[in-house]
Chains A and B, each alone.
Chain A
Amino acid sequence: MAYKRSQILICGGTGCTSSGSMLLAKEVKKELIKHDILDEIEVVVTGCFGLCELGPVVIVYPEGTFYSRVESSDIKELVEEHLVKGRPLDRLIYTEKGDGHHPLSINELGFFKKQKRIVLANCGVIDPENIDEYIGFNGYTAIEKVLLTMTPQEVIDVIKASGLRGRGGGGFPTGLKWQFTHDAVSPDGVKYVACNADEGDPGAFMDRSVLEGDPHSLIEAMSIAAYAIGSSKGYVYVRAEYPIAVKRLQIAIDQAKEYGLLGENIFDTDFSFDLEIRLGAGAFVCGEETALMNSIEGKRGEPRPRPPFPANKGLFGKPTVLNNVETYGNITAIILNGAEWFASVGTERSKGTKVFALGGKINNTGLLEIPMGTTLREIVYEIGGGIPNGKAFKAAQTGGPSGGCIPTSMLDTPIDYDNLIAIGSMMGSGGLIVMDEDNCMVDVARFFLDFTQDESCGKCPPCRIGTKRMLEILERICDGKGVEGDIERLQDLAEGIKASALCGLGQTAPNPVLSTIHYFRDEYEAHINDKKCPAGVCKHLLNYTINEDTCKGCGICAKKCPAEAISGEKKKPFTIDTAKCIKCGACIEACPFGSISRA
């Protein structure tokens, strides 16, 4: 094998692929051939680096030079300068916003400095479609250690001692889940291992990134779980909307089978394990564990009452352990480094790290992994790079449609499972949407309820009918038709639904409403009592007016108005016909004199 003096890593995650990174890889190879240096440079297409905002991302080692927003027309110069002449191409190196700092190495970026990567350790570092890369990075050593030196109970004890809790939502201790499934009796001895990769929260994409960037780690972790509970068959339930993830996972499964890492008598032991992918058709409720199992079985994706819990009666009525992708992502590291190492990261009751998909009004949109206990302020301002356009932070939404808002006053709360519950939100799968002063919190609540209402499977009345009634109230508040007592009605309905809905979807659906009422009650009151939307979002509550004193009568606004609602004589103040106005705001942007206002 030829010696590789340098490597050029190109992000092949969904974000960068959609901005053309596959074309870059081809272009780079073409240029390397032209300079006759293809043997000494390795081109690696990796999974997501995390800084999706800056894609397509390219990193050149050994320097670790971080290039952002690379286009195929840049490649000729990049290869010639950096790889032939050894001069990093300054023009494409990412400059961090604000401080003008010009880092040369990926490790110097503020975005990466505060992170601790356990689950994402290999994402953006290895080629996910090449099993040798994973093996080279200590892959499949954890399963080797487990099969050759540990009993199933020892494996479970390590996971228990590590304090790992489920990363998919509820935060149930993983070791305990494994113990229950291990102890459950199956008359014919059949048990199953399943993985929940049905990531449905709006804005969350950490599971997708792990599947795309490091699929073998999931295979290895599920094998370990299978050994621990005494299973020989596993299912990965993944959304069909993740084509790259599905493709890479299938490639990984095929390669693992070829290498004998899946199949009969792995490492010549009695342990056999086979893994299969099942595609979800995109129903949010199928991320709920019992609905997911119904779906794998080929039934309608509706939740089942619990108990019996999956540990006793899961897939096909057999004891089943079901974990989320990110939860499995921690397993190999815990086995290799020990429970104590893992437990040394994080807070007292939340060990390890958490991956967040950072989105909304934030400079560094992307994926990050931080130790539990990091504050929201650190995430937003240090890793996230702050709010764009100098706007003020208003709230962050965690836990997607099941979670709640964290207001400015809670910015310094260390983020872990229990603190988030205490402030009326939840960890959820890890979507983190940042909102600024231009976001209306009533509208946000309406958006999430609209989502859960739409995704409700309809099996139980509290969720089917209750969320519909809540949505109607929210819609009328946003339309300026809210009446006194609506807030109390919402709270009343919310408590009822939380207490009586069948599954997690319904039980948590009211959370966004309750938490916005709790922290932003004044906004609800402004909508209902004063018929005003303080953030200027709810169209029915807005009024556009032209200031007669400053209007020069140029008529630009009238030309821009798509509804022909503005009229007037040239050089005299124009007027807006509020009956025709659709409140789009085009006139405000068009007016050269700032004479139009919204209230």
Chain B
Amino acid sequence: MAKSLAELKAIRDKKVNEINLRHGKNGYRVVVGMATCGIAAGARPVMVKLMEEVAANGLNDVTVAQTGCIGSCRLEPIVEVYDGEGNKVTYVHMTPEKVTKVVEQHLTSGKVVDEYTMTIVDGKIISPEVKA
């Protein structure tokens, strides 16, 4: 079937995520710890949920990636969010439910979800934003 101009544009819009992936994205980079410890603690459903939510919210500039062991195995599943300047926020003990809120607040409107971060782990207060 011949495509109209509008249909061509629709194809372009649909492809935008894949293109950004290859050209390099400018938005948040979300990294999930996927070493043995992470996977054992349930990182896989967290990452799947993350991908679903990012796609559902049309966040085409967000990169979802995985990494190996971050080093704090007892805090897994860990999700780290880097902004364009390299500032990092670390979310710990993540679940698919928590992901929804992180996507809604942090990735969409830039509000860090303090209660899921490392800030209050083990009674110690750590600043949620760390320079990478």
Spell out A's residues near B (CB within 8 Å): 1-7, 9, 40, 42, 61-64, 84-87, 107, 125, 132-133, 135-138, 140, 144, 258-261, 263, 267
Contacts and interface: CB of A to CB of B under 8 A. Distances in A.
Contacts of A86: 31-32, 34, 65-68
A85 B35 contact: yes
B125 interface: no
Nearest to B15: A136
B5 A144 contact: yes
B126 interface: no
Given A136-B18, A258-B2, 4 more contacts: A87-B68, A136-B11, A136-B19, A258-B1
Contact of A260 (B2, B22, B25, B47): B2
A260 B3 CA distance: 6
9 contacts: A1-B55, A3-B51, A62-B21, A85-B34, A86-B31, A132-B14, A132-B15, A136-B11, A260-B1
Contacts of B63: 5, 62
Contact of B8 (A2, A5, A84, A135): A135
B14 A136 contact: yes
Contacts of A61: 21-22
A44 B6 CA distance: 26
Contacts of B111: none
Contacts of B47: 5
Nearest to A9: B22
A107 B23 CA distance: 10
Nearest to B23: A125
Contacts of B24: 62, 64, 107
B18 A4 contact: yes
Contact of B51 (A5, A136, A140): A5
A134 to B, nearest CB: 10
Contact of B3 (A9, A107, A259): A259
Interface string B70-95: 00000000000000000000000000
Contacts of B21: 4, 6-7, 61-62
A125 B5 contact: no
A5 B54 CA distance: 10
A135 B14 CA distance: 10
A40 B3 CA distance: 28
Contacts of B5: 144, 267
B8 A140 contact: yes
A333 to B, nearest CB: 15
A124 to B, nearest CB: 10
Contacts of A125: 22
A383 B48 CA distance: 41
B52 A3 contact: yes
B16 interface: yes
A7 B18 contact: yes
Contact of B18 (A42, A64, A85, A258): A42
| Most chain A CB inside 10 Å of its own CB: which residue of B32, B51, B54 | B51
